[in-house]
Amino acid sequence: MAKIKYSTIGADLRQAGAKDGALSVEDAKKLLGWTEEPNSGAGAWDEWTLKDLEGKKIRLKNNLTNRPFRLSLAKRYANEILRKAWAFNGESLILDKFGMVQDGQHRLVGLILAEQMRAKEKERWAEYGWRGPVSMDALIVTGISDKPETVDTIGLGTKRSLGDVIFRRREFTNVDEKDAKRLANVLSHAVRLCWIRSGGKTVSDAPHFPHSEALSFLDTHEKLLDAVLYIWEQEGGQGAEGKRVSSFCSLGYAAGMLYLMATAQTDREAFDNGGSVSWKLWSKAKEFWGLVASGEGLRKGNSILALRALLPKIGAAGSAGRDEICSTIIKAWNLWADGKKGEVKDVKVKRKKDQETGKFILSETPRIGGLDIEIIEEEEAPAKEEKPPKKVKGWKVGDTSWVDDPEAEEGCWFGTIEKLTKTTATLKAKDDGESYTVKLSALSVDKPGEED
């Protein structure tokens, strides 16, 4: 029978200046029961919780009754800790009366991995203020019941969306609360789109977007608020005279594209090295979206007229559809900005047939320039398959999929299917290269929770 370690519920605040100081890496290892695989071959393990950044197999002996562990999440926390984007917000680490970690496994492992990262690149992380071992402030609650009716209630609160976070910052002060909520969501989608495209990605292959990264991006690109307000003004409300923009595309995407158009003459290399953004096209970009919204004075041969005809026909439910919307808008903008005529055939995005899936996909992803550049990364040639890929319920080995995962930073992650059974799939996660087995019901072609 397990020995009770904490007979009563207690709390211990660990921070600089407190009796025991901030939580150290050694403290985290002790709480987790961090145990490394023996060096001798005779004691090699067949099963372990994770491999750390030194390649060592690790078991977490005090984490046996927690939710599944995800190394990718711990790595993201480690990166946020090192970037000083991690702040103590009062959320506690929770241990039951037997000393088992019931909440906080990823934070604790993240702290340990952060120190391993710091030790490998001391000069890099010294620039963030880390000149010695990494630590973090934490509130440790101990002694809760190990019964399901207690433990299963942990972490059931609604995750804060980026829109929620932006709303709390009160970025929009001259509108009522209802409109402020809507504007916050519009801004969240605009920020995400600009972040994706300025990193050379598309919506279909976008990486995770932590809130700290989003707020940092917004602080660098404050004029995104002006783009949102201009699109909001052009929208004209929700009544009969309204929806002048959202009838063609989401307000967030319109604001994001307006911002990218307005900054198209930015010297990207100079910007990446601390240079400023060029606003030479701000008025022209606003004029473009004003015409999209009103349609006033548009005649045959105007690419904006063609754009207005095409956009309502493009389904925006999936990430591929949103990429097509962006590409169509860009083709119309490039023609219009250069003073060239454009019919529907000139604005429509070209497609091609995917040889593996037999489905039609986009064969072009035009870019605006400036901040909106395409970063081409070399990819390894896929290995030749000796056997036909196994298919289960519409999925096959080699397919890419989003995975609905409440434990992930954004509630989901992206990976490639390596193995299939009748009820489960094993995927290699894009963000950390690790393999995870999930239920088939967790797979999704489109990113779960995307509301653009």
Q: What is the pLDDT of residues 229-280, one digit of tens each?
A: 999 999 998 777 889 999 999 999 999 999 999 999 999 999 988 899 999 9
| 23-37, 67-81, 135-149, 249-263: range with lowest mean pLDDT | 67-81
Using a 10 angstrom Cβ sphere, with 0-12 exposed, 13-18 middle and 19 or more buried, the burial of residue 164 is: middle
Average pLDDT over residues 190-216: 86
Percent over 70 (pLDDT), the chain = 91
pLDDT at 452 over 50: no
Q: What is the mean pLDDT of the chain?
A: 87
Residue 61 to residue 99: CA distance in whole angstroms: 10
Residues 143 and 15 in one domain: yes
Q: Among residues 151, 182, 216, which one ends one of the domains?
A: 151
**Among candidate residues 163, 375, 151, the one with its CA nearest the CA of residue 268:** 375
| Least confident segment among 162-166, 207-211, 426-430, 444-448 | 444-448
pLDDT higher than 80, residue 42: no
Average pLDDT over residues 45-52: 88
Q: What percent of the chain has pLDDT over 90?
A: 55
Domain of residue 169 covers: 162-362
Report the number of distinct structural domains present in the chain: 3
Residues 322 and 193 in one domain: yes
Query: Would you say residue 328 lies in a domain?
Result: yes
Strand residues in 299-452 grouped as ranges (E):
351-353, 360-362, 391-392, 395-396, 400-404, 412-420, 424-429, 435-439, 443-444
- Of 403, 322, 320, whose CA–CA distance to 354 is shortest? 320
Q: Is residue 86 part of a domain?
A: yes
| Of the candidates 434, 408, 449, the residue with the CA atom closest to the CA atom of residue 53 | 434
Structural domain ending residue among the three candidates 315, 344, 362: 362
* Mean pLDDT of all residues in 28-47: 84
CA distances from 409 to 205, 207, 440 (A): 17, 11, 20
419 and 323 co-located in one domain: no
Residue whose tokens read 């995407």: 253
Among 100-104, 211-215, 437-441, the range scoring the smallest mean pLDDT is 437-441
Q: What is the pLDDT of residue 387?
A: 53
* Residue 34: strand pairing partners: 60
Higher model confidence: residue 381 or residue 269?
A: 269
Asked whether the predicted pLDDT for residue 290 surpasses 60, the reply is yes
Residues 244, 184, single domain; the answer is yes
Would you say 195 and 259 are in contact if contact means Cβ atoms under 8 Å apart? no
Q: Do 290 and 144 lie in a common domain?
A: no
Average pLDDT over residues 374-395: 56
Mean pLDDT for the stretch of residues 80-102: 93
* CB within 8 Å of 202: residues ≥ 6 apart: 196, 319, 323, 326, 365
Terminus-to-terminus CA distance in the chain, angstroms?
52
Q: What is the CATH number of the domain that holds 419?
A: 2.30.30.140
157 lies in a domain?
no
Mean pLDDT calculated for residue range 15-20: 90
Q: Clarify whether residues 180 and 237 are in a common domain.
A: yes
Structure tokens at 7: 């007979």
**pLDDT higher than 60, residue 386:** no
| Residue 228, pLDDT above cutoff 50 | yes
Top pLDDT among 298 and 209 is at 298
Measured CA to CA, the distance from residue 153 to residue 416 in angstroms comes to 32
Least trusted range by pLDDT, from 94-108, 122-136, 154-168, 217-231: 154-168
Co-location of 432 and 341 in the same domain: no
Residue 30's pLDDT is: 97
| Residues 147 and 246 grouped into a single domain | no
Question: Residue 285: pLDDT above 50?
Answer: yes
Least confident of 101-115, 156-170, 179-193, 341-355: 156-170
Answer with the one of 91, 118, 151 that is the final residue of a domain: 151
pLDDT value, residue 370: 95
Written as six digits, the tokens of 111 are 């702290």
Least confident segment among 60-74, 170-184, 359-373, 412-426 = 412-426
Is 128 found in the same domain as 191? no
Per the CB < 8 A criterion, the answer to whether 35 and 58 are in contact is yes
Asked, for residue 375, whether it belongs to a domain, the answer is no
3-class SS shares of the chain: helix, strand, coil, % to 5: 35, 15, 45
Which region, left, alpha or beta, applies to residue 90 given φ > 0 means left and ψ of -120 to 50 means alpha? left
| Contact by Cβ (8 Å): 361, 398 | no
**pLDDT given at position 393:** 63
> Between residues 156 and 307, which one has the greater pLDDT?
307
Tokens at 121, concatenated: 């690149």
Q: Are 125 and 213 part of one and the same domain?
A: no
Looking at 168-172, 179-183, 364-368, 392-396, which range is the least confident one? 392-396
Structure tokens at 420: 């299939």
Using 50, 70 and 90 to split pLDDT, how confident is the model at 380? Answer: very low
**Mean per-residue pLDDT, 366-388:** 67
156 within a domain of the structure (yes/no): no
In a domain, residue 262? The reply is yes
Q: What integer pLDDT is reported at residue 409 of this predicted model?
A: 59
The arithmetic mean of pLDDT across residues 374-398, rounded, is 60
User: How do beta strands 400-404 and 424-429 pair?
Assistant: unpaired
Write down the pTM of the prediction. Answer: 0.67
Q: Is the pLDDT of residue 177 over 50?
A: yes
Say whether both 343 and 407 belong to one domain: no
Question: 87 near 126, Cβ under 8 Å?
Answer: no
Q: Name the burial class of residue 364, with classes exposed (0-12), middle (13-18) and buried (19+) by CB atoms within 10 angstroms of its CB.
A: exposed
Give yes or no for residue 391 having a pLDDT over 80.
no
Burial class of residue 336, CB neighbours in 10 A (0-12, 13-18, 19+) = buried
**Using CA atoms, how far apart are residues 171 and 396, in angstroms rounded to an integer?**
45
Q: Is residue 140 part of a domain?
A: yes
Give the mean model confidence (pLDDT) for residues 171-176: 86
- 311 and 428, same structural domain? no
| Residue 14 in domain | yes
The CA distance from 197 to 375, in Å, is: 9
